[in-house]
Chain A
Amino acid sequence: MSTPKKPTEAKAKPGEGVSRRGFIRDVGLGTGAVGVALSPTAALCAPPALAGPGPVPVTLTVNGKQHKLELEPRVTLLDALRNYLDYTGAKRVCDRGTCGACTVLLDGKAVYACNILAIEAQGKNIQTVEGLALSPEPDPLIRAFVNNDGLQCGFCTPGFVMAAKAFLAENPNPTLDQIKRAFGGNLCRCGSYNGIRRAILEAAKSAQGGGKNA
């Protein structure tokens, strides 16, 4: 799981769900990019502070564990987690910061992993859904999602769970109405929103030992 993989040019491209057309386009442009990197103008105006465009050392702290990687600066945190570290909990769905399936916590705040470069996430505490299963007692959120049918196909679930984790840390005793308004950053194509809301409410109550909204 934590073995860093040697990145290849092909691996550095978004690895998942590559269509044949997309692959040809990426490889074509990749060759162009190498040309840019070697061009004399780029070399002239490149101060020493610049990293890349080739692979550079990147250290990520995921669920408390440090991982040393070699990544191109263009690799997103999501692709680094999924393709280089095998943390496949965060899902790659829209890849445009809209659907929320890639939600992870960065220093405790919910963010879209697809909208952050891995290189910018260095020095930050990255929490993925895998981190919730580390202790022998599963996180109350996991149990609550199971108890309340908070999912159908389950693809959006890791994102919802992590968004809920951040939400409950700031709002330990929410009302159902607050929950309804707080998850505008996550989509569920199956439409399991009612179950998801009930699950988050139950998780809040179980963490509180029964909340005021019971």
Chain B
Amino acid sequence: MQAFAYASPTSIQEAVALLSDRWGVADVLAGGTDLLSLLKDYIHTPQRVVNIKNIKELGGIRKTAAGLRIGATVTLAELLASSEVRAEYPSLIQAAQGVKSPQIRNMGTVGGDLCQRPRCWYFRQGFGLLAMKDGRSLVREGDNRYHAIFGNQGPACFVSASSFGPPLVALNARVKLVGPKGERELPVEKFFVIPQSESEREIALRPDEILTEILVPPATNVRNATYEVRQRETLDWPLVTASVALTMKGTAVASARIVLGHVAPIPWRATEAEKLLAGKGLTAAVIQKVAEAATTGATPLSKNAYKVQLVRVAVRRALEAARPKA
């Protein structure tokens, strides 16, 4: 790890003042579960590390008229213990339960989950976010078994590693970002971006901004669930996930949001599947068709076509989990 100066401010303004308008100068430290590994591997070599865990405003879960407000430094363990989250947002609970290590759940934060860097092994070995060498993609020509099957037509083939990205996009949540010029809000869907060049990042956060809170709309009439297909029961990222949020009208689905995880550089909306499900009841036949529609437009790489089948499985099981109990 390269040496750095450290600060532990107690206000958002102080913290923002310690950041830089260029990437690479300063890093924000919350749970540290991803950042410390990036530092140890020299993937990030900042001059300053700004610990935001002592900023009180960034903590806590609060129910408001506009929905649930989740502070960026709320840990996964705190989220799991929240009765408000449990009551209305099973998809968030299921996503948090997917992080199988209690140690990570005790340290890792919801904001950090959204800001974690991709797990692409070329990126983690220092070949850059897009892993290009002499104008050729190491991912396309190399081992891409865990890479993208959607949104991979540009130079980015990694998958978003976020556990909460898919359920938050499905629930139409927003994030609040605070920088030197004030604050702005973005739908989580717009927070994740597909970078087109090596100088870009996979999230819309600017280098001098801090993600301060997540705002989730009320979901009293929204059946929601997350299903993760994973290789093992212990700590690892899933292979494919599906999060669904279904606005119900009686027993039928009025409108649906179906979002896939670990299949694209961003949480991937399965819009064909969403359209197909609108206005229908959740019968086995409908679920089957919707799961098939979720694979529309998939462009697997040389070693990851298996993920197309996992998409069908994840969507079907997420819909079954979200279906009202008879």
Contact = CB atoms under 8 A, between A and B. Distances in A.
Please indicate whether A and B come from the same complex rather than being unrelated chains.
Answer: yes
Interface of A: 12, 14, 29-30, 32-34, 36-37, 42, 45-47, 49-54, 56, 72-74, 76, 95-98, 100, 103, 106, 109-112, 114-117, 119-120, 163, 166-167, 181-185, 187
Contacts of A109: 77, 106
B3 A100 contact: no
Nearest to A52: B5
Contacts of A96: 37, 40
Interface residues of B, number: 39
A119 B47 CA distance: 16
A190 B1 CA distance: 30
B2 interface: yes
Interface of B: 1-9, 14, 17-18, 20, 29, 31-33, 36-37, 39-40, 42, 45, 47-49, 51, 53, 77, 100-104, 106-107, 233-235
List 7 tightest A-B contacts by C-beta distance, closest first: A185-B101, A184-B100, A73-B6, A53-B3, A33-B3, A184-B234, A50-B5
Most chain A beta-carbon neighbours within 10 Å: one of B3, B4, B104: B3
A49 B9 contact: yes
Contact of B32 (A95, A103, A115): A115
Given A46-B5, A51-B7, A73-B6, A117 B36 contact: yes
Contacts of B40: 14, 95-96
Nearest to A79: B1
Nearest to B6: A73
A49 B2 CA distance: 20
A36 B47 contact: yes
A120 B36 contact: no
Contact of B103 (A46, A49, A73, A100): A100
Contacts of A117: 6, 29, 32, 36, 49, 51
B36 A185 contact: no
A72 B4 CA distance: 8
Contact of B48 (A50, A97, A183): A50
Contacts of B6: 50-52, 56, 73, 117, 119
A116 B14 contact: no
Contacts, number: 131
A14 B17 CA distance: 30
A37 B104 contact: no
Contacts of B100: 184-185
Contact of B1 (A49, A74, A120): A74
A29 B42 contact: yes
Contacts of B104: 97, 112, 185
Most chain B beta-carbon neighbours within 10 Å: one of A49, A95, A103, A183: A49
Contacts of B77: 109
A90 to B, nearest CB: 12
Contacts of B14: 49
Contacts of A53: 3-5, 47
Contacts of A36: 2-3, 47
B3 A37 contact: yes
26 contacts: A32-B2, A33-B2, A33-B4, A36-B3, A47-B18, A49-B9, A50-B18, A52-B5, A54-B3, A73-B3, A73-B5, A110-B103, A110-B106, A112-B104, A114-B36, A115-B37, A116-B107, A117-B36, A117-B51, A120-B29, A120-B53, A182-B102, A183-B102, A184-B102, A185-B102, A185-B235
A47 B51 CA distance: 15
B101 A49 contact: no
Given A98-B235, A100-B103, A109-B77, 10 more contacts: A14-B1, A29-B42, A29-B45, A36-B2, A49-B18, A53-B5, A74-B1, A112-B33, A116-B36, A184-B234
A15 to B, nearest CB: 13
A187 B5 contact: no
A181 B9 CA distance: 37
A6 to B, nearest CB: 17
B17 to A, nearest CB: 7
Nearest to A166: B102
Contacts of B31: 115
A132 B51 CA distance: 31
Contacts of B53: 120
Contacts of A73: 3-6, 49
A161 to B, nearest CB: 14
Contacts of B1: 14, 74
